[in-house]
Structure 1
């Protein structure tokens, strides 16, 4: 839904060069960094933001931003979900309406900083099922209600989640100042490995308690990061394993805002191209690119970079409400 009260045709996209027609998983783009990842009965909601055009979010001391767009679906119309994946504790990724409405027992996987905020005893109603992952720490999500099994009937569909490096503030004096002021929160990227697990029946704590986990498909979500040296650890950690799909946060978010663009805190088009070359995912989908007035690098700039680099077959573009279907 592009404007409240107006609808458009919603598209389903598949791999531009090797669609099979038997796709069994999908990414539904709601807006900003909010998506639903679905596979074999498991649904994960990323960075829930359901504010509308004209609404404002608080992003730090003296910094607010106005939303330009509407989400593709309303919060109360969401399908049944298994957990929320929250990259960091910022209102444009976890807005006040979501925070007020969410069941306090609903599972949230996030950063150590966000866990402290969400579970603080100073809250009138702290969240009770928050799991923190630091960089390269992992846990398993398994569908509690799935009747699906793998080739081995004891195996069930599961998603292994690993925290990936990210840096929301450029290195140098600004980063050191932010460490003192805590104005911009720490952020994670994520690696989601879709596969089959044995020996567990619910959301797990850190590590891999399952006797076996077999990966069939890998999704990397950049989170709100700049192209920093820490990202170069990701290919080293992967040790040659292929990333099948990347969701990349773009927009060139600049604070305090358009009238005083002093510091860029998310990748612009050029940095997005650098990350594509570093990760070398089979397919990349840009998200988080035009929903707020602090986003100063439009999607058209990224599209131009991709075209000039000759990488059109490696990128799929979704509008809010579109879905990318893929095969695990």
Structure 2
């Protein structure tokens, strides 16, 4: 986990982002292969892959960015072992749940609101973006989900490095505003997997993943969240095949668990 600006892939939607002096953790999930987690409405899922590291091997963190409160994104290990004073930037729904579990610094971000962090002359802004875990009636039964735009500036006047983290969203019309507000995105982290419960799609499959690339047009994309749980029905090969077929104008970086991807800047 070295490098000035880098992404270390732990597994599922869990990454360690190093941006200058800042270190962020996304969607902490440290359950091991074979363990089960509750993902809502009585539905459970079994983990199929081990995380690359344990929670005790994490570097010192400045904050956690949590897309939503589901057991495959914030699990019982995170609830037990993360520092209770660590800022956790998340939805208002998840912030309330975290507060009830003894976390003292949950930061509730409604859509399009943000939080700024500063160290020396460097700054980091995390903005909550629209997300939709399901469509129709099922959407009301699932927790709210947010995407995130993470903007890092090494100095006050620097052009920002922009990382988009999709969260567990499907492609929907509200995502068009992201393109309008952020015409330039350096790297997108896409939550894929084609998660299905009772036959209903809850996360992007390969086709929707490329739909989102064509909509937002980031310079690079790193697919994550695609084969860790038994409810994921669209393997990474679906996304790879769709990228080859449609050839979006984006560089795709396939990052294995335990590997580090160097970010721009």
TM-score under structure 1 normalisation?
Answer: 0.77
Give 1:104 shift: 1.4
Q: Deviations over 1:152-189 (max 9, x none)?
A: xxxx112111001000011x2333xx2xxxx3100000
Match of 2:255 among 308, 318, 321: 318
| Alpha-carbon spacing, 1:214–1:113, altered in 2? closer, same or farther (3 Å) | farther
Take 2:259 and 2:157, find their aligned partners in 1: how far apart are those partners? Answer: 31
Higher relative contact order (CA 8 A, sep 6+): 1
How do 1:145-184 residues align onto structure 2 when only pairs under 5 Å count?
156-170=121-135, 172-175=136-139, 178=140, 183-184=141-142
Structure 2 CA distance for partners of 1:217 and 1:254, relative to 1, 3 Å? same
Question: Partner residue of 1:274?
Answer: 211
Task: Measure the CA separation in 1 of the matches of 2:14 and 2:181.
Answer: 26
Contact 1:193 1:215 in 2 (8 A): no
1:327 aligns with 264
Cα 1:213–1:190 change in 2 (3 A) is: farther
Q: CA deviation at 1:251?
A: 0.1
Unaligned runs of 5+ in 2: none
Instruction: Give the structure 2 partner of residue 110 of structure 1.
Output: 90
1:227 aligned residue: 171
- 1:101 equivalent to 2:81? Answer yes
Contact 1:24 1:327 in 2 (8 A): no
In the TM superposition, what are the counterparts of 1:295-314 in structure 2 within 5 Å? 295-311=232-248, 314=251
Cα distance in 1 for partners of 2:158, 2:106 equals 25
Q: Which residue of 2 aligns with 1:187?
A: 145
Q: 1:319 to 1:129 in 2, by over 3 A?
A: same
Q: 2:193 aligns with which of 243, 246, 251?
A: 251
Segment of structure 1 superposing worse, 96-105 or 222-231? 96-105
Retained in 1: the 8 A contact 2:130–2:174?
A: yes
Post-superposition offset of 1:61:
2.0
1: CA distance, partners of 2:264 / 2:82 = 31
Q: State the SS of the aligned residue for 1:190.
A: strand
Query: In 2, Cα distance between the equivalents of 1:213 and 1:220?
Result: 21
1:134 aligns with 2:110: yes
Quote the RMSD (CA, aligned, Å). Answer: 1.8
1:76 CA displacement: 0.7
Q: Partners in 2 of 1:318 and 1:289 — Cα distance?
A: 12
Gaps of 5+ in 1: 1-9, 13-22, 144-148, 150-155, 198-211, 256-260
CA distance in 1, matches of 2:59, 2:4: 17
The answer to whether the 8 A contact 2:111-2:129 is kept is: yes
**Count of residue pairs the alignment pairs up:** 265
Cα distance in structure 2, aligned partners of 1:110 and 1:86 = 5
- The 2-side partners of 1:103 and 1:326 are apart by 27
Deviating 4+ runs (over 2 angstroms): 172-175, 212-216, 310-313
Deviations 1:8-52 (A, max 9, x none): xx9x9xxxxxxxxxx731011000000000022210000000000
TM-aligned CA distance change 1:272 to 1:26, over 3 Å = same
Q: Secondary structure at the match of 2:6?
A: strand
